[in-house]
Amino acid sequence: MTNTQYDMVGIGIGPFNLGLAALAEPLDEIDAIFFDKEEKFEWHPGMLIDGTDLQIPFLADLVTFADPTSPYSFLNYIHKQKRLYPFFFFNRFDIPRQEYNEYAKWVAEQLSSCHFSSKVVDVIPKNEEEYYEVKVETPEGIQTVNAKHVVMGTGSIPLVPPAFEEKLNEHILHSSGYLHKKEEIQKGKHVTIVGSGQSAAEIFLDLLEEQTEHHYHLTWFTRSSNFFQLDQSKLAQELFSPDYVDYFHSLPFE
């Protein structure tokens, strides 16, 4: 942070802002810097279960759809790891979730604009929002940078039913922390999973496959009447295309 004047400051370094940082890196006309309070990039570390795959094809990585020539693509990551041929023989578009996390960490480590252990504590508009003063808490203390634009990586917060908000402990936990507590969970005599989403299904399957080793009773509660496969039809996928987004925003409010 030798420079204190930037075109853009990114708050949070998840996949969205990490992709933005990778795309901005080679552009001389954009001077950008990104901050995240965590020590390093980790993508849903509590749910990187063995055998789970990313829901979308590897082409939807951090950069490819915006810039297929970017050196920060998933294909270049595999190439740099000297695993391009094994990946080709793998012959699948969907990749392991753990592999995607390693890829994103590889990108983050190469970008000088990404700063971890750096928590943004305040954003102050200056000169009628001509620029913003951004205060960052770092291991060296509070530092200040100015930027014309601020990009918020909103991230996600685990959703806990109100009845459980004050009761979370080592025995009652949210799925986002599953792997961190898995060994303790498997010491129990009875494990209950509540929920009908993909995370609940993945945790149930993971525990089911190891049930005979630990001898716990396993129960899964869901309010859904059945389970639905992920919609992979071409029409559903088109909703995420830039052309459809432009069309949607052109529609009248009504």
Q: Looking at residue 163, what is its pLDDT?
A: 87
Contact 24, 66 (CB under 8 A): no
Q: Which residues in the chain are classed under CATH 3.50.50.60?
A: 5-152
Q: How far is CA 86 from CA 68, 82, 101, 159, 197, in A?
A: 21, 9, 19, 39, 32
Q: Looking at residue 165, what is its pLDDT?
A: 83
CATH no. of 5-152: 3.50.50.60
Residue 79 tokens, joined:
């190439």
Q: Looking at residue 97, what is its pLDDT?
A: 95
Q: Looking at residue 127, what is its pLDDT?
A: 87
CA torsion through residues 186, 188, 189, 193, sign: negative
Helix/strand/coil for 192: strand
Q: What global pTM score does this model have?
A: 0.90
Q: Is 82 left (phi over 0), alpha (psi -120 to 50) or beta?
A: left
Angle (nearest 5°) at CA 55 between 54 and 61: 65
Q: What is the pLDDT of residues 192-250, one digit of tens each?
A: 999 988 899 999 999 999 999 999 999 999 998 888 777 778 888 888 889 999 999 99
Contact 15, 62 (CB under 8 A): yes
In this structure, how many other beta carbons lie within 10 angstroms of the beta carbon of residue 108? 22
